Amino acid sequence: AELIFINSHEWGKLDMPLRGIHEYTHVFQHQYPSAPGWLTEGGAVFFEAWLGGLHQWVDFRQAMRRSMQNALVASADKMGLSDMEYLLDLPEAMKSYHRNIAYDMGAWAIAFIIGESMGHSISEFRDQFYPLLRDEGWEKAVSQFSGSRDLDHFYSRFNEFLQQSSQQQF
């Protein structure tokens, strides 16, 4: 696969590698079956911040704090991951929450899934979660990999996590 960026001359010095990571994450994801918007975009935002942090293009913790602030805006309005389960087209009613939930809350959902997994490992998430998604579907993959009984249990646990203090979340 390849990526082509149009009008990238207007981007800042660090935008290219970060956007490249984000978009190439989608290329990786698309070799697996469809997943909801929050899992797809959240994964791309998480890996953009994580890999960008490893290369010192971005401060990972600061990027995740910014995502948490945006996620909490939607959470305060009683909106969450379950509202962003679109597979193809974003529902009209969710457009104003798309960034907050799919991208930002989704990035934290990925971090939560990894943190709740047996190995707490990003590489295990990459190497084990996605094949599980292919074999079992996204609902079972999220539930099993995060140690949840089912998707509702995962959503419940994640919503409790969102209500914790930032010290507990990090």
Rounded to whole angstroms, the Cα distance separating 50 from 25 reads 12
Q: By the 8 A CB rule, do 101 and 84 touch?
A: yes
Which residues, including other chains, have CB under 8 Å from residue 134's CB and lie 6 or more apart?
32, 33
**pTM of the predicted protein model:** 0.92
For 74, counting Cβ atoms within 10 Å of its Cβ (0-12 exposed, 13-18 middle, 19+ buried), the class is buried
User: pLDDT tens for residues 114-138?
Assistant: 999 999 999 999 999 999 999 999 9
Rounded to whole angstroms, the Cα distance separating 7 from 10 reads 6
Rounded to whole angstroms, the Cα distance separating 123 from 127 reads 6
User: pLDDT tens for residues 46-93?
Assistant: 999 999 999 999 999 999 999 999 999 999 999 999 999 988 888 898
